[in-house]
Structure 1
Amino acid sequence: MRVNFSRTLALTLLSSCLALGCGVRPATEEGDAGVGEKDAGQTPPDAGTGTPDAGPGTPDAGPPPPADAGTGESDAGTEPSDAGTGTPDAGPPDAGPDPDEGYPSCGVPYLGDREGKGDFTPTALGPDMAAAAIQAGSTVSIIEPVQGGRVSFIGVKDVINMDPCGATLLGAFRDLRSNRVSVDQRTVTLQRGADGRGASTDSDTASFSNVFLCPNNWSNADIFDQEYEVTIILSDRRGRSVYKAFNIRPACNVPGEDKWCRCLCKQGYKLGEPCP
């Protein structure tokens, strides 16, 4: 609310002046000495035959109150200060961003704890096409795949604290004599076991790394019955990787395939050379 200070001051001064008679002469009921020409005396001067005029009336107490300082009580605002339309909404605790945002589901839940340390156990398919755990010194079967030649199927099991969808599985054999390497890398989706851990699927050779071994045109020694280093790297799509490496011994141990395997996998095999 704004008050015109100059107007208020002027009205206050005027009211005071009227109340005190600041220079204002009161007029009589008869013979106004200050109005019109002077009466030359046709009638004797009024010696006061009537009651002296005490003034035009009750002294004016002043003009109406100063400009409106507010039509009612002091306006502190049309409504109480709005501190919120109701009780502050605390809402549910913020759980943070969705950890799965940007990672489409493949139907297999995350394996373990997203904050835990990733791990797995290396495996290889044996002569019966069943996966078994391998470690340093293990025998690894040399097997004929559907695409021909000879490979070792290197997989994983007991995968924990990793994303099973769209993982990258790399398997490699290194010739300890020449340091030449044969590598196979592929994208896999791991199956989830009853224990909540992931694994390559025995019935799906595409979920294993198919490391090419024979025909032997890369090693300076026989592939079979010799020591090679195997490396397995499992990386999930969220950037977590687990690496393991140790020495194993490939073997031509599939029933009925021994002679063909040894021929194709021997040192110095020439492509197209007949095998028994």
Structure 2
Amino acid sequence: MKSIPVVLLSLCLVMSCDPDGGNPTPDAGTGQDAGTNQDAGIPDSGTNQDSGIPDSGTAPDSGTTEDAGIPDSGTAPDSGTTEDAGTPPADAGTTPDAGTTPDAGTTPDAGTIETSCGVPYLGDPNGALDFKIKALGPDWTSYPLTTGSTLTVIEPIQGGRVSFVGVYDVINIDPCGVSILGALKNPETGRLTLDSRTANLQRGPDGRGSNIDLDDASFSNVTLCPNQWSAKNLYDEDYELIVILKDSLGKKVLQKTLMVRPACNVPGEEAFCRCICKAGYVLGSPCP
């Protein structure tokens, strides 16, 4: 019986058994300060109290060093706003008369440009053509036409009834051999009557051109009556008046249209005019 403890003791010595039995390493996993390394050669490890890097990461004025090589960098006096930068010349872009040349399109001295008919050029060869419309009235003097104007119906030398249509205040065209086309159109049916003339325009003191009133042949003689073309009376009714002005080379052309009312308003001729100008007039029918 005494030999059993000796054998057991021998086994324990071989296996390094502890007095408690089963756990051979003293305080294994529970060693005093194990895992906390109290003073284990790394003072204040993880907090680096005074660990050779004073105020590491919080150096005074780090990244904001006073006057660091660029005094007032980015805020230099008037930087990017130097006096008058980008707009130095006084009145830049607004030089006197810039883009507003006096008489643009009606160049002064344009009247010195010679033409084939001896009438100086009207205005500026590079300017846009423009004109206004006029007609001969009952007294054979011209008057301006605007929308709604009365258009006089007159008896020409050749008989019948016409309206003499011309132009005035003409600018920026060679006055020699211009073509003046006049037409009267029934806006309800689209039918029209027209006449075209070639004329030399006269030049006025203002440098603009017009037909010569005393030369009715220079006006477009728009034939109206006897009324063989319109489905309504050629008096006291609304019609479209179309005028086309073109230079002799065909390079400058302008068309204008007005609504007008033809009228038999020549004294002493009203009755005959109304007879041959009425709708449905039969050629040869007697008139008073």
TM-score of the two chains, using structure 2 as the length reference: 0.59
Counterpart in the other structure of 1:61: none
Shift of 1:131: 0.6
1:170-199 CA-partner distances (Å, limit 9, x unpaired): 000001121111010111111111111100
Paired residue for 1:210, among 202, 216, 221? Answer: 221
Secondary structure of the residue that 2:132 maps to in structure 1? strand
Secondary structure of the residue that 1:186 maps to in structure 2? strand
Query: Take 1:219 and 1:199, find their aligned partners in 2: how far apart are those partners?
Result: 30
Look up the equivalent residue of 2:217 and give its one-letter code.
Answer: A
Query: Take 2:167 and 2:115, find their aligned partners in 1: how far apart are those partners?
Result: 23
1:54-98 CA-partner distances (Å, limit 9, x unpaired): xxxxxxxxxxxxxxxxxxxxxxxxxxxxxxxxxxxxxxxxxxxxx
Secondary structure of the residue that 1:264 maps to in structure 2? helix
Secondary structure of the residue that 2:120 maps to in structure 1? coil
Counterpart in the other structure of 2:134: 123
Shift of 1:204: 0.5
1:147 pairs with 2:169: no
Query: Take 2:132 and 2:187, find their aligned partners in 1: how far apart are those partners?
Result: 23
Look up the equivalent residue of 1:196 and give its one-letter code.
Answer: G
Kept after mapping to 1: 8 A contact 2:115/2:174: no
Query: Take 2:239 and 2:228, find their aligned partners in 1: how far apart are those partners?
Result: 15
Paired residue for 1:252, among 249, 264, 275? Answer: 264
**Moved runs in structure 1, 4+ residues, more than 4 A?**
none
Kept after mapping to 1: 8 A contact 2:123/2:208: yes
Paired residue for 1:105, among 108, 112, 116? Answer: 116
1:275 pairs with 2:287: yes
Query: Take 1:207 and 1:227, find their aligned partners in 2: how far apart are those partners?
Result: 25
Query: Take 2:120 and 2:132, find their aligned partners in 1: how far apart are those partners?
Result: 19
Secondary structure of the residue that 2:221 maps to in structure 1? strand
Q: Matched residue pairs, number? A: 174
Query: Take 2:168 and 2:115, find their aligned partners in 1: how far apart are those partners?
Result: 23
Query: Take 1:131 and 1:225, find their aligned partners in 2: how far apart are those partners?
Result: 20
Query: Take 2:277 and 2:118, find their aligned partners in 1: how far apart are those partners?
Result: 40
Aligned residues: percent identity? 56
How do 1:1-276 residues align onto structure 2 when only pairs under 5 Å count? Answer: 105-238=116-249, 239-276=251-288
Secondary structure of the residue that 1:244 maps to in structure 2? strand
Query: Take 2:165 and 2:133, find their aligned partners in 1: how far apart are those partners?
Result: 7
Counterpart in the other structure of 1:13: none
Counterpart in the other structure of 2:53: none
Shift of 1:104: 6.1
**Does the C-alpha gap of structure 1 residues 111 and 104 become closer, same or farther in structure 2, counting only changes over 3 Å?**
closer
Query: Take 1:121 and 1:184, find their aligned partners in 2: how far apart are those partners?
Result: 18
1:118-146 CA-partner distances (Å, limit 9, x unpaired): 10110011101111110110001000001
Counterpart in the other structure of 1:50: none
1:199-232 CA-partner distances (Å, limit 9, x unpaired): 0111001111000000000000000000000000
Query: Take 2:160 and 2:273, find their aligned partners in 1: how far apart are those partners?
Result: 9
Secondary structure of the residue that 2:273 maps to in structure 1? helix
* Structure 1: stretches of 5+ with no match in the other structure: 1-102
Kept after mapping to 1: 8 A contact 2:117/2:176: yes
Query: Take 2:148 and 2:161, find their aligned partners in 1: how far apart are those partners?
Result: 21
Shift of 1:244: 0.3
* Structure 2: stretches of 5+ with no match in the other structure: 1-113
Query: Take 1:177 and 1:196, find their aligned partners in 2: how far apart are those partners?
Result: 40
1:6-42 CA-partner distances (Å, limit 9, x unpaired): xxxxxxxxxxxxxxxxxxxxxxxxxxxxxxxxxxxxx
